[in-house]
Amino acid sequence: MAKTIFLKNVRIVDPASGLDETSDLLIIDGKIEKIGKAGSVKTDRELDLTGKLVVPGLMDMHVHLREPGFEHKETIETGVRSAAYGGFTAVACMPNTTPAIDDESVARYVQEKSKQLLGGIVDVYPIAAATKGRKGEELSPMAELVEAGAVGFSDDGSPIMSANIMRRAFEYSSMFGVPVIQHAEDSTLTRGGSMNEGLQSTRLGMPGIPPVAEELMIGRDIMLLRYVPGAKYHVAHLSTRGGLELVRAARKEKLNITCEVTPHHFSLTDEAVDSFDTNTKMNPPLRTADDVQAMKEGLRDGAIDVIATDHAPHTVDEKEVEFTMAPFGIVGLETAVGLCVTELLEQKFLSWPELIEKLSTNPRKILGLPAVRISEGEKANLTFIDPDLEWIVRPEEFHSKSKNSPFGGRRLKGRAFGIFNNGKLFTAG
Amino acid sequence: MKLQTRHLLGLEGMSREDLTLILDTAVSFKEVLERPIKKVPPLQGKTIVNLFFESSTRTRISFELAERRLSADVVNFAAAGSSVSKGETLKDTARNIEAMKIDMVVIRHASPGAAHFLSRVVKANVINAGDGAHEHPTQGLLDMFTLREKFGRLEGIRVCIVGDILHSRVARSNIHGLRAMGAEVSVCGPATLIPRGIEQLGVKVYHRLEDVIPHTDVLNVLRIQLERQESGFFPSLREYHRYFGVTKERVAQAGHAITIMHPGPINRDVELSADLADGEHSVILEQVTNGVAVRMAVLYLLGSR
């Protein structure tokens, strides 16, 4: 007996299919059977989605699932649940685990584990380490890792400081068409830093992380990319206006460069550190109002391809320490959609189709994954969003194992409330 | 009159009324310190812990004297380095304090915001005795007290803070406190030791002592630490002394008397020449005396709130 699901009276937004209309959607056996007014159909499950949106399944290409090695912060299971509640049908997870994802066994472990969770509804793609042990010294076995499912290479958390290793990573990875994702930071300029360097760090007496550290690394990498034009370069969590200008110029040159921004970098400034709340400590750090404005402009004019959360769980005990001693990072999967709607759609920086490109189409394109489209005959990979729901962020209710968010108490508009993928339906609440 | 705050975490944002109240109260306590019997009863029955996560001699002794002269019961807790290195977090330390029913906590810590952190997790009044390079409010207050005593006012006097502004909590507390009271504040030091954006706090920046000396009434000279040389902020103490050392010859160029301050301990003949430190315009020892009076005022005002 075929399993049929009928989504009634829903606004379907899919930039890839040029679709933005309110209609009905019939799914049979995990495939989109029909789009269009169908009247009454006999189905196993019918959802009246009047006033709601259905969009191609969102993907967060920058999360830390912490397993193996740091299961007290997050496990693949809790990370996947958090993704599902946040509206993501896919995540790409960073390799700074213990052991690092620098050999095929770990890459396979992460994927196999995720397939057993929530019926395998969330696709988990490993980003493998670019260098062995993420030490920045020797290349990881890239060919083997690609074969084992790695979709990108990154030493995220640690920048690849050696220009020579970065050059070799570009050259070697270019054979597979897989991007090198750089945590762009010249660490000789940032050692000991806890927040953006500028007026706020001066006021607070806090060791600074100068914006030029990000710009320098992006600048160097662009020069290397010009020298190795066959490589693909993706800048993780861009945070500075200067860094964005460099990316913009490199795009004009038609270099293979892409970049992402996190929701916190387009919605908070370094003034938030005033509270000494360690949930405002992340790397790259919160920057100035001018940088925040630049991030929004970059999203609007297309210089920034992707919104990714850099979901970085840490326990309460790890975070509730002196600011300079606290680890960097915040969780982001369950606040991403709300922040995008509140900060970008409501403020007219992006339209729904543009937002979907940055949360669904572009991350998959950059990582070489098949496009997700809403059209008849396609596999159904969908996210359901209530665009008008106003809600207050309560970190204690997150499904992630960790609650380290600076957005607690903040009123947001827009929230994902379910996903469909791999023949499975998941709805929140 | 009562303070508008339960804790003394920093001078930034403090009202002129609160600052004046503390300074005025300190005047009465200074008078107490001149008496043959220097003890008064206002904090009798109150327990104060001095939580020093960073080594300090004079600030700790100054606080302890102030506490005892107000008849408080005093407990000292000195941890070498951070509590984290001992396996106990600051939060656990705070919980212990809470469990021991302590009324007031004086905390010195290497991390900016440590006092703020503590004030959020304990019911006791928290006094910041220095948090990293952030603030050292009682030092700022005692400097203000000393200047007010010397000049009869703070409004309009010109104070230049000399040296390692980047790493100095004393500089920040002085800037906020003095500016709130209407003084003009400038800073002078090597470009590597002037933090970004400090002009936006309303101070003028100089890199040559010669440029500022004619335009200042006071030089507040900060201690320069050798470890800054090791981390690349300046080439040598010799060169530092040559270009940023406050000496008699330099000060003489002002054409008017310049009051010399130093938060101590002094590297004699490095940042400040010995003859100036011991000279007629030095108020360095008055600062030490006033430190006790100002701390008594702060403890008294917070403790009797």
Residue A129 lies in a domain: yes
Q: What is the pTM of this model?
A: 0.95
Which residues from B are below 8 Å from A when comparing CB atoms? 12, 82, 84, 89-91, 109-114, 116-117, 131-135, 169, 172, 195-198, 200-201
Indicate which CATH number applies to the domain containing A44.
2.30.40.10
Say whether both A278 and A157 belong to one domain.
Answer: yes
Say whether both A348 and A382 belong to one domain.
Answer: no
Say whether both A357 and A412 belong to one domain.
Answer: no
pLDDT for residue A181: 98
Residue A231 lies in a domain: yes
pLDDT for residue B87: 65
Which residues in chain B have Cβ-Cβ distances shorter than 8 Å to A320? 89, 91
Say whether both A357 and A215 belong to one domain.
Answer: yes
pLDDT band at residue B77, thresholds of 50, 70 and 90? Answer: confident
State the ipTM, two decimals.
0.94
pLDDT for residue A39: 67
Indicate which CATH number applies to the domain containing A133.
3.20.20.140
Residue A137 lies in a domain: yes
Say whether both A322 and A387 belong to one domain.
Answer: no
Whether the upstream peptide bond of residue A141 has omega within 30° of 0, thus cis, is no
Whether B197 and A206 lie within 8 Å, measured CB to CB = no
Report pLDDT digits (tens) over B20-48.
999 999 999 999 999 999 999 999 999 99
Structure tokens at A224: 């290397």
User: How far is the C-alpha of B24 from the C-alpha of B263, rounded, in Å?
Assistant: 21
| Closest by Cα among B205, B209, B241 to B223 | B241
Element (H, E) at A89: strand A88-93
Mutate to test the interface with B, among A196, A199, A203, A316 (most CBs of B within 10 A): A203
Position A337, amino acid: V
Structure tokens at A255: 């270099």
Residue A33 lies in a domain: yes
Whether A205 and B82 lie within 8 Å, measured CB to CB = no
What range does the domain containing A397 cover? 4-53+377-427
Which residues in chain B have Cβ-Cβ distances shorter than 8 Å to A202? 195-198, 201
**DSSP letter at A274?**
G
Residue A93 lies in a domain: yes
- How many domains does one find in chain A? 2
Structure tokens at A140: 């990881």
Mutate to test the interface with A, among B11, B90, B111 (most CBs of A within 10 A): B111
Say whether both A131 and A247 belong to one domain.
Answer: yes
Residue B83 has pLDDT above 50, yes or no: no
pLDDT for residue A184: 98
Whether the upstream peptide bond of residue B265 has omega within 30° of 0, thus cis, is yes
Q: Does A274 touch chain B (CB under 8 A)?
A: no
Report pLDDT digits (tens) over B248-305.
999 999 999 999 999 999 999 999 999 999 999 999 999 999 999 999 999 999 998 7
Whether B111 and A322 lie within 8 Å, measured CB to CB = yes
Q: In terms of DSSP bridges, do strands B184-188 and B204-206 run parallel, antiparallel, or are they unpaired? A: parallel
Which residues in chain A have Cβ-Cβ distances shorter than 8 Å to B134? 204-206
Report pLDDT digits (tens) over A399-408.
999 999 999 9
Residue B86 has pLDDT above 90, yes or no: no
Say whether both A381 and A399 belong to one domain.
Answer: yes
pLDDT for residue B82: 45
Report pLDDT digits (tens) over B211-257.
999 999 999 999 998 888 888 899 999 999 999 999 999 999 999 99
Which residues in chain A have Cβ-Cβ distances shorter than 8 Å to B114? 322
Say whether both A34 and A135 belong to one domain.
Answer: no
Structure tokens at A132: 């062995």
pLDDT for residue B1: 77
Mutate to test the interface with A, among B136, B196, B199, B222 (most CBs of A within 10 A): B196
Residue A255 lies in a domain: yes
| Closest by Cα among A184, A236, A245 to A209 | A184
Alpha-carbon distance values, A351 to A20, A338, A345, A356, A412 (Å): 11, 14, 6, 9, 17
Taken in order A288, A290, A293, A298, is the CA torsion positive or negative? Answer: negative
C-beta separation of A298 from A241 below 8 A:
no
Residue A371 lies in a domain: no
What domains are defined for chain B? 16-134+290-303 (3.40.50.1370), 137-287 (3.40.50.1370)
Whether A322 and B201 lie within 8 Å, measured CB to CB = no
Considering only CB atoms, A321 lies closest to which of B90, B110, B200, namely B90
Say whether both A266 and A342 belong to one domain.
Answer: yes
Residue indicated by tokens 């990979």 = A381
Which residues in chain A have Cβ-Cβ distances shorter than 8 Å to B175? none
Residue A372 lies in a domain: no
Half-sphere exposure of A265 (CA within 13 A, CB side): 31
Work out the burial of residue A397: count CB atoms within 10 Å of its CB; fewer than 13 is exposed, 13-18 middle, 19 or more buried: exposed
- Catalytic residue chosen out of the listed positions A310, A317, A386, A388: A310
Report DSSP letters for B45-81, one per residue.
T-EEEEEESS--SHHHHHHHHHHHHTT-EEEEEE-SS
Report pLDDT digits (tens) over B186-214.
999 999 999 999 999 999 999 999 999 99
pLDDT for residue A2: 65
Residue B81 has pLDDT above 70, yes or no: no
Buried b (16+ CB within 10 A) or exposed e, A309-326: bbbbbbbeebbbbbbbbb
Question: What residues of chain A score a pLDDT lower than 70?
Answer: 1-2, 39-40
Say whether both A38 and A175 belong to one domain.
Answer: no
Say whether both A88 and A161 belong to one domain.
Answer: yes
> Mean pLDDT, chain B, as a whole number?
94
Which one of A318, A339, A366 terminates a domain?
A366
Decide if A156 is catalytic. no
Which one of A342, A366, A390 terminates a domain?
A366
Say whether both A294 and A387 belong to one domain.
Answer: no
C-beta separation of B219 from B187 below 8 A:
no
Considering only CB atoms, A205 lies closest to which of B84, B172, B200, namely B172
